[in-house]
Amino acid sequence: MSAAPLPGSPQVAYQDDALQVEGVALADLARRHGTPLFVYSKASMLEALAAYQRGFAGRKVKICYALKANSSLAILQTFARAGCGFDIVSGGELERVLAVGVRGADIIFSGVGKTRAEMRRALEAGIGCFNVESEAELEVLSEVASAAGKTAAISLRVNPNVDPKTHPYISTGLKGNKFGIAHERALEVYRRARELPGLRVAGIDCHIGSQITEVAPYLDAMDRILDLVAQIEAAGMPLAHIDFGGGLGISYNGEQPPAADALWQQLLARLDARGYGERQFMIEPGRSLVGNAGVCVSEVLYLKPGEAKNFCVIDAAMNDLPRPAMYQAFHAIVPVARGGGEPAHYDVVGPVCESGDWIGRDRSLAVRPGDLLAVLSAGAYCMSMASNYNTRGRAAEVLVDGGESFLIREREDVADQLRKEKLLP
């Protein structure tokens, strides 16, 4: 039987009814490394990146991977070797990027709550730019940079008040969101930035949300930001770069977001029409590079029939796959080996002691205890948001590269979790 690609990445496919990633059988990886197990396709990540690179051919663009989507070191290595910069939102993420040998100049620092210690460390590392998210942060960064005898390159993250038409928790560009500086205040804040010591105005930044599946919000945000660029530069403050953020969605359940190259063809046409086509650009994709590259393999523990519904209890839980509990998000769930008995409808749930610990609602599955299931599109915002709730160890991770597999994170055990804790005397 020929390979049958599933929704998401063509690198995740059945071969003779056995689910494989780049030709490596997930059942074999589960036997070797246990479950729950995250498995990533390197080819899928690089194919997603290539779509952006095609869209930007001949343009001055720096693609900065937003590592909050998945910050595992081997994945950062993969994007660094492919020429990416990095968008970070914490001091911990800064150390992760530096640990894989990335130059400070290839890092931009976003986030609404940067501490003085994080600012000092970022200045010490020589990062390329701070995306400043409030007037108060601007004043503090000026103090920190001046005290360190350094100059911080800054962009203001401007909130354009554009509805990205996504989940409220991952919408970031509306007036009611905590992110960025109000569009109406931006020019005045740029004037203040020009006056402050220790700062150098380098650009402007905008990010309206995540899992965006339509072009219109990007075009609306771009128009509002370019209007503002014209005002700022007319006031005597040239902007060396424009950062349009990230947020492009992926297909979890039949969504049809534009391909990255098609999206940017439209956006670049708008930029050209407005006279900004030769400007230096930055973008910060995350989910769209890694989301469909990952699967989580889990073992069926119990089948629990009930009067109202049936439950399929698996060994992965909300601490491993938090998106359903947090966002009511959908992930496709498929058998690792096809060809079981008659299917039944189940809520797929984990062992965590919470009614919110569900992975999928009302799924048709032909399964028995001991079978393996694969939760698809699990490359983004799963391992990076994983926790030790119920004293559960975080899962192991494997990267598949052209038929070879590499363990890139060992499974946590209880000793790992207890190591930093202290008993009372």
247 is in an annotated binding site: yes
152-159 and 199-205: which strand pairing? parallel
353 is catalytic: yes
Is 287 flagged in the annotation as binding? yes
Residue 143 is labelled as binding a ligand:
no
Other Cβ atoms closer than 10 A to 131? 30
Catalytic residue chosen out of the listed positions 64, 206, 296, 353:
353
Q: Is 286 annotated as a binding residue?
A: yes
Asked whether residue 118 is marked as a ligand-binding residue, the answer is no
Q: State yes or no: 169 annotated in a binding site.
A: no
CA distance 80 to 45: 12
Is 323 flagged in the annotation as binding? yes
Q: Phi first, then psi: what are they for 334, rounded to 5°?
A: -135, 155
What is the C-alpha to C-alpha distance for residues 39 and 402, in angstroms, rounded to an integer? Answer: 13
- Residue 217 and residue 223 in contact, taking contact as beta carbons nearer than 8 Å: no
Q: Which residues are annotated as a binding site for pyridoxal 5'-phosphate?
A: 247, 284-287, 381
Q: Which residues belong to the active site?
A: 353
Q: Which residues are annotated as a binding site for substrate?
A: 287, 323, 327, 354, 381
Q: Which residues are annotated as a binding site?
A: 247, 284-287, 323, 327, 354, 381
